[in-house]
Amino acid sequence: MKDLLDRESAIPLYTQIETVLREFLATGEWKSGQKIPSESILQTQFGVSRMTVRGVLNMLADEGLLHRVPGKGTFVTESKIATRSPAYQGIRQQLEDRGYSTETEMLGFELVPAPERVRSFFNFSEGTKVYEITRRRFLEGKPVTLHKAWVSADLAPGLDRFDVADRQLCEVLSTEFSLNVKNTAETLEVARATEQQAEYLECEAGDPLLLLTDQLRDAQGRPFEYTKLYMRGDQMKLEFNFES
């Protein structure tokens, strides 16, 4: 790769190396998840000092394009899957529309006393039961999201008769109970994976997760669903588009 550098140019060698490596990433010569050559190999290939190579790799790592694994080497960061808020369209439908293979696993579906925050949203008295639904979604065979939803049993009686693994919950609520979203209150924050969440999402406890919380009301202003969506921060990202 020495011939890729112009040693007579006024452009510094580290800038030229940066350009070359960015091209490798952009064209797919270095593919997502691939281990790249070591610093010593790149040093020899480019004919520069190891410090120069290290500086370029550190910069690309700081940008999130590369990541280092102690004792194993440097890898190309896997591209994140971009989705919009489920307030616009269900996550599953978005992924499938983009050609991804998805699978949903039901982890729990039962009537439980509403947790405090959920109870406050529904304005229920203590002990009032709601449907608590926990699902795990797989993308191309890998777990990427964990969904926890609480639905008003008063507005969706007998909801547990329906399969909300094969069907999207929003579709069941709309077609079977005429519960259509008119207003969504939404928050986005970073949460650290608990041990149980880490087990479900096949990550490490304490890893960053994106936590999207939605509070849904229908056209009559009735609260009918409170949802927490946990997404692996290293694999998923949310897109927002605004028009003024």
State the pLDDT confidence band at 103, using cuts at 50, 70 and 90.
confident
Query: What is the CATH code of the structural domain delimited by 2-76?
Result: 1.10.10.10
Percent of the chain, pLDDT > 70? 86
CA–CA gap between residue 214 and residue 151 (Å, rounded): 12
Q: Is residue 37 over pLDDT 90?
A: yes
Please give the pLDDT value at position 33: 77
CATH topology of domain 81-237: Chorismate lyase (3.40.1410)
Each residue's pLDDT tens digit, 189-242: 999 999 999 999 998 899 989 899 999 999 999 999 999 999 887 777 666 665
Q: How many helices (H) and strands (E) does the chain have?
A: 7, 10
For residue 110, which of 63, 160, 55, 61 has the smallest C-alpha distance?
A: 160
CA–CA gap between residue 244 and residue 241 (Å, rounded): 10
The domain ranges of the chain are 2-76, 81-237
Using CB atoms within 10 Å of the CB of residue 201, give its burial: 0 to 12 exposed, 13 to 18 middle, 19+ buried: buried
Q: Which long-range contacts (CB under 8 A, 24 or more apart) does 96-99 make?
A: none
Each residue's pLDDT tens digit, 120-173: 999 999 999 999 999 998 887 889 899 999 999 999 999 999 999 988 899 999
Please give the pLDDT value at position 89: 58
pTM of the model: 0.67
State the pLDDT confidence band at 48, using cuts at 50, 70 and 90.
very high
State the pLDDT confidence band at 243, using cuts at 50, 70 and 90.
low
Helix (H, G, I), strand (E, B) or coil at 104: strand
